[in-house]
Structure 1
Amino acid sequence: MTIAGLQKTTLLDYPGKVACTVFLSGCNFRCPFCQNSEILTGSGGEQIPEEELFAFLERRRGILDGVCVSGGEPLLGDVAPLLERIKGLGYSVKIDTNGAFPEKLKELYGRGLVDFVAMDIKNSPQKYEKTAGAHVDTGKIKESAAFLMECGVGYEFRTTVVKQLHAGEDFVRIGQWLRGAKAYFLQTFRDTETVLRPGLTPCTEAEMQAFKRLLLPFIPNARIRGEQG
């Protein structure tokens, strides 16, 4: 497991917490809209020694409330020892995951190593592989989503919306799939220098609002990330 980056302070990544975000390299997906493409394979980007990370976390005790562990896909490797050390310092832990490893997710929750989970919902099940850029066992994705909705851990689902990949019918299907979810966010795609496939485009604000309206009959708490109210 390689620590590929550290965002030292974030007020956005962990709901209700002042946190930092740790980025782990490596991912089993190749989503064309990925913002962290330089760390997908584990061969690029910054590398931070684990002891350097924990020296930082020691210094920030009493200032930070939580640690977000993101990627890449943090559940691709054995992340439990890292989480144990973080929890040992008294931090709350949030995991960002694509949901492909429900067994690991259940294990971490059962061991009390995760307090909040943000799970990416790439698209409707019918378009998952195209959107993820890789072979996907959608049964595993559905298992992870169902577990989060049932187990009692804090969670949110989120979909990064790309004009070339998402249409209205996809959000009807997502709504039917995740009916009653506690928290679901639509996120506007942003094209940056690190995006895996250049040339993708975001949807307009009107399109995002239309997608939200399609979700609301199924998920009354559906929101667009960053909107007020």
Structure 2
Amino acid sequence: MEKIRVGGILDNSLANGKGLRTVIFLSGCIHKCKGCHNKELQDFNFGIEMTEEEIFNRIEKNAGIIKGVTLSGGDPMEQPMKLVNLCKKIKTLGLNIWCYTGYSFEEILKSDEKSSLLKEVDVLVDGIFDLKSKSEKLKYRGSSNQRIIDVKESLTSKEVVVLDF
């Protein structure tokens, strides 16, 4: 079984999506956004390799108190196929999944691998972090160019459905 490169796991967070969540920080990002707050996670070799089972067991122990799981990074879309099955298992716990990525929704749809992961995600925060558009007043995103997207509604309606927080 292929291992997932993880930069860290935060068991309980209120800042990385709606409700109390477990956040998995994935290693590797090609975007190199100026002002990135997880710069060390841009390195594809940062962190440790974990099995899907190790990550799932940690989430499962926390499932009684969390509302969902957030995939962050780095960029989870750099390891999409390693995350698809994990996300399916997370769904069996009744948890929702948020994913932060520097790719746009439209770019993800052009990639079969990235689309496979997208289909397992409930909410996508897309777009590169733009230091010029940064605002502390924004909820669940770092810059105003980023969108918080209802993935299921967007895939069904074939147009981007943005959530307002």
Paired amino acid for 2:108: P
Which residue is 1:208 aligned to? none
1:34 aligns with 2:36: yes
1:57 shift after superposition: 1.5
Tell me how far apart the structure 1 counterparts of residues 67 and 89 of structure 2 sit (CA, whole Å): 15
Q: Point out where structure 1 has 5 or more consecutive residues left out of the alignment.
A: 128-143, 154-177, 184-220, 222-229
Q: How many residues align?
A: 137
Paired amino acid for 2:13: T
Which residue is 1:8 aligned to? 11
1:172-204 deviations in whole A, cap 9, x for unaligned?
A: xxxxxx9x9543xxxxxxxxxxxxxxxxxxxxx
1:71 shift after superposition: 0.9
On the 8 A contact 1:70/1:96 being kept in 2, the answer is yes
- Identity rate of aligned residues, in percent? 27
Q: Which has the larger radius of gyration?
A: 1
1:115 shift after superposition: 1.1
1:102 aligns with 2:104: no
1:121-172 deviations in whole A, cap 9, x for unaligned?
A: 544xxx9xxxxxxxxxxxxxxxx96xx489625xxxxxxxxxxxxxxxxxxx
Tell me how far apart the structure 2 counterparts of residues 10 and 122 of structure 1 sit (CA, whole Å): 20
Q: Point out where structure 2 has 5 or more consecutive residues left out of the alignment.
A: 133-145, 155-159
Query: Structure 1 90/43 Cα, relative in aligned 2: closer, same or farther at 3 Å?
Result: same
On the 8 A contact 2:122/2:150 being kept in 1, the answer is no
Which residue is 1:21 aligned to? 23
1:82-106 deviations in whole A, cap 9, x for unaligned?
A: 2112212221100111125422554
The two structures have a TM-score, normalised by structure 1, of 0.50
Q: Superposition pairs for residues 3-152 of structure 1, below 5 Å?
A: 3-15=6-18, 17-77=19-79, 78=81, 79-100=83-104, 101-103=107-109, 104=111, 106-109=115-118, 111=119, 113-123=120-130, 148=149, 152=153
On the 8 A contact 1:3/1:50 being kept in 2, the answer is no
The two structures have a TM-score, normalised by structure 2, of 0.66
Tell me how far apart the structure 1 counterparts of residues 150 and 8 of structure 2 sit (CA, whole Å): 30
Tell me how far apart the structure 1 counterparts of residues 50 and 151 of structure 2 sit (CA, whole Å): 36
1:29 shift after superposition: 1.0
On the 8 A contact 2:100/2:125 being kept in 1, the answer is yes
Query: Structure 1 60/150 Cα, relative in aligned 2: closer, same or farther at 3 Å?
Result: closer
Task: Give structure 1 regions of 4+ aligned residues with deviation exceeding 6 angstroms.
Answer: none
